[in-house]
Chains A and B, each alone.
Chain A
């Protein structure tokens, strides 16, 4: 399986989910795609529909819950959900596929939506693993705008205090949030140094829209003992098409039919370029 090109197929699924539902956080969906593919499809995590009730499975919490459309696409590819049903029902009246993760759906561990929740919850999950002597790992994906929430910083302290080397936080560092550049809204300058100062193992991934780099970072995190890992996943918001790339206005946006056509073409070209490489 070519997971790199699969990420572009899943971007197309994500796009279709958003078009069908008439809404969605498209920019962050596109930036986080390789991280989700790495975790759920390329072997980053030990979780599948076959072991979803196994207490030893790896756990994931999508703290940046608004980027749920990409999550649905990946969960469907992993066999948890039916992609056609998701596309048909997303955001429709009475639908189980709402605009944020909900653990009534298979494969989703925790509900999220309001920001700053995933990291503390993941600390608890990792702590439970340590208490019970289980070998599972816990992953959470945060937005970079989300990192202004104070609860994250509380959890940075507790995660380090309890030496949770089975915990790996990943921040989707696309540098944009709804109001503009993160550094203009609330600067995270020296993010790596700040988190490292909390005694976390910080791994800076130059291009986290490159699956190989993400996989290498996950492996590096897995090898770290005695403290939790924090992967700074530098990504491009809207990754996949110049129509939406690096544009804060695409944080939440439904493409016009013309934009849709162009994005589909761009996704196809990127995929072909990967296959040629």
Chain B
């Protein structure tokens, strides 16, 4: 049965569990508590909830001020607005001032589908990763999202976390979700081609590996949920034994996971790198699935590009 639980819902569950015993855990929203699935948190912990209205600059500035005074703020707002409208606050008030603000970009990538480019965040990985002292995470499924947030609750540094709007197929299970902070998860090992993906593209990469296996091609799949700090060692380890590398992301082709992977492979173990990403244009109108299918960002599409890359 397909998973019906979105990653954002899991975030709310984890934060509520911790808010019960840790009064410093604070959630901020910019009229986004519903979109972020954080309404239960606001209802259960009103004194640890801050509504700032539709004011993303204020959202991040206030979060930084709270953090500077010892609180543990989690500021949730659509990734499209959080990563652009409040970009300077993310840069100066969070990263540069070194405050413990966790920025949750909800409905990331093209989650908002037909709402169009104003609501899409196909630039957030590039933008956020370029800020010194900012970490960037894109968890792949609900089980990993839980483990990531459990880890983030324990540290004191700022981070940007992007999650999608819709439930995604599981990559892991409740009992089998290997996780080490800032280390990519090797979902499956292989010899011929390396598939590196982040966020919602991990599951299609796993699907692609299964398709490739049927054609006698052995693919490894690396879940690079930690886009920054990028797990360079894992890339080199897996890419070294492969003949080609395919990166997959729900992002612009510039400055995202593909750019970073190509940089590492080019320096450490040069070989064919294919970057699969959204186009450098407003995406075609449709649901996430329709858009991904159109651009080949699904199991079949990834497998096809991997075969092409190996044929070079």
Contacts and interface: CB of A to CB of B under 8 A. Distances in A.
A151 B57 CA distance: 6
Given A117-B92, A120-B57, A127 B62 contact: yes
B65 A120 contact: yes
A163 interface: no
A120 B66 contact: no
Give the interface centre of B47, B68, B89, B96 by most chain A CB atoms within 10 Å: B68
B170 interface: no
A111 B97 contact: yes
- Per DSSP, are chain A's interface residues mostly helix, strand or loop, or mixed? helix
A155 B53 CA distance: 11
Give the interface centre of B50, B62, B88 by most chain A CB atoms within 10 Å: B62
Contacts of A116: 57
B92 A151 contact: no
B32 to A, nearest CB: 15
Contacts of B68: 59, 109-110, 121, 124-125, 128
B24 to A, nearest CB: 8
A122 interface: yes
B50 A127 contact: yes
Contacts, number: 104
B47 to A, nearest CB: 7
Interface of A: 55, 59, 103, 109-114, 116-117, 119-129, 131-132, 138, 150-151, 154-155, 157-158, 161
A113 B47 CA distance: 32
Contacts of A151: 57-58, 61, 89
Given A128-B66, A158-B55, 16 more contacts: A110-B68, A119-B61, A120-B57, A120-B58, A120-B60, A123-B58, A124-B61, A126-B65, A127-B62, A127-B65, A128-B65, A128-B69, A132-B69, A151-B57, A154-B57, A154-B58
A114 B52 contact: no
8 contacts: A110-B97, A122-B65, A123-B58, A124-B65, A128-B69, A138-B65, A154-B55, A158-B55
B29 interface: no
B39 to A, nearest CB: 19
Contact of B58 (A126, A132, A158): A158
A116 B65 CA distance: 14
Given A103-B97, A113-B92, A59 B61 contact: no
B58 A110 contact: no
Contact of B53 (A110, A111, A150, A158): A158
A111 B91 CA distance: 10
Interface in B78-117: 88-89, 92-93, 96-99
A103 B64 CA distance: 13
B63 interface: yes
A121 B99 CA distance: 11
A98 to B, nearest CB: 12
A121 B61 contact: yes
B92 A123 contact: no
B117 to A, nearest CB: 23
A158 B52 contact: yes
Contacts of A119: 61
A112 to B, nearest CB: 7
Interface string B36-74: 000000000001101011010110111111111111010
Contacts of A125: 65-66, 68-69
